[in-house]
Amino acid sequence: MIFDSHIHTEFSADADMKAREALQAAAGQGIGLVFTEHLDADYISKEGKTFTFEPEQYWRTYNPLRGDNLRLGVEIGMRESTRDYSEELSRRVPFDMVICSQHIVDDLDIFYPDYYEDKDKQTAYHRYFEQMADNLRGHSFADTLGHIDYICRYAPYENAGIVYKDFADEIDKVLQTAVDTDTAMEINTRRLGDKEALADLMPIYQRYRELGGRYVTLGSDAHVPAAVGAHLLLAYDFAESLHLTPVTFQQRQMVNCQK
């Protein structure tokens, strides 16, 4: 079974999706899910949202649903200042899967325009990749690195896509760190409906393979039922074309995905 290994429900501050809605959407496609609720410790958004959840309540609510078609995980926002807390939580709670992602750079949420003020694209993206590599080494307890192209969603530049050759050194550091720490790379499907975005990602994942990477997780990053499983088969075929193996995790152990 193919798993959409990046799903947010109402336990995430920016999602209202009910578990049953996500599961119904997945059942209609014959896919499995991993719920990966947001954990960005010590962070409050401009709207006053805290991106944390109570793991015991999460477990009590969803553990009865957990099984062959549903795993329970977490998406941890990587920051040096919260690293120890995040690792302790990831060890204490019996998550099936831990995604680590770069949402905040130099204490600025890259969702908001503030991060990009007085920065050209080269500067903004350089710092993003630099912190991602440093934080991933520190967050070596991650199972997978989330959406390497996350910044492209919100950057205000005319061409927000990542051109590998423009950031080759920085991206190589991220990819080599993933290989060194046995961290799978996520292929996030959010932007795969854009052929240009897919073309931009190809050299990045080719380079990951060249550096010794072998495994990728596939995730829609869905926050609403209509996004569950979006472009998942495209991502699966994309991975196979690059000789990368699509996987998910169960009890923190890697499991191959099959069509």
Both tokens of 70, joined, read 């549903």
Q: What is the pLDDT of residue 259?
A: 84
Both tokens of 22, joined, read 């996500």
d(CA 258, CA 240): 11
Percent of the chain past pLDDT 90, that is, above it, reads 97
197 sits in which H/E element: helix 195-210
Average pLDDT of the residues in 189-217? 96
Number of other CB atoms surrounding residue 63 within 10 Å = 12
The answer to whether the pTM exceeds 0.75 is yes
Average pLDDT of the residues in 54-73? 96
Number of structural domains in the chain: 1
Residue pair 73/228 in contact (Cβ under 8 Å)? The answer is: no
pLDDT tens, residue by residue, 137-182? 999 999 999 999 999 999 999 999 999 999 999 999 999 999 999 9
Both tokens of 43, joined, read 């962070």
Q: What is the pLDDT of residue 53?
A: 93
Both tokens of 5, joined, read 């290994």
Q: Per-residue pLDDT for 77 more than 90?
A: yes
Average pLDDT of the residues in 201-211? 98
Query: Which domain covers residue 190, as residue numbers?
Result: 3-256
Average pLDDT of the residues in 31-49? 94
DSSP character at residue 250 = E
Q: What is the pLDDT of residue 217?
A: 98
Residue pair 127/108 in contact (Cβ under 8 Å)? The answer is: no
Q: What is the pLDDT of residue 212?
A: 98
254 sits in which H/E element: strand 253-256
- β-bridge mates for residue 154, sequence order: none
Q: Per-residue pLDDT for 191 more than 90?
A: yes
Q: Per-residue pLDDT for 227 more than 90?
A: yes
Q: What is the pLDDT of residue 228?
A: 98
pLDDT tens, residue by residue, 79-107? 999 999 999 999 999 999 999 999 999 99
Average pLDDT of the residues in 25-41? 97
Average pLDDT of the residues in 23-44? 96
Q: Identify the CATH number of the domain in which residue 98 sits.
A: 3.20.20.140
Lowest mean pLDDT among 49-53, 71-75, 126-130: 49-53
The DSSP bridge pattern shows strands 253-256 and 245-250 to be antiparallel
- Report in angstroms the alpha-carbon separations of 221 from 9, 36, 78, 196: 10, 9, 17, 19
Average pLDDT, the chain: 97
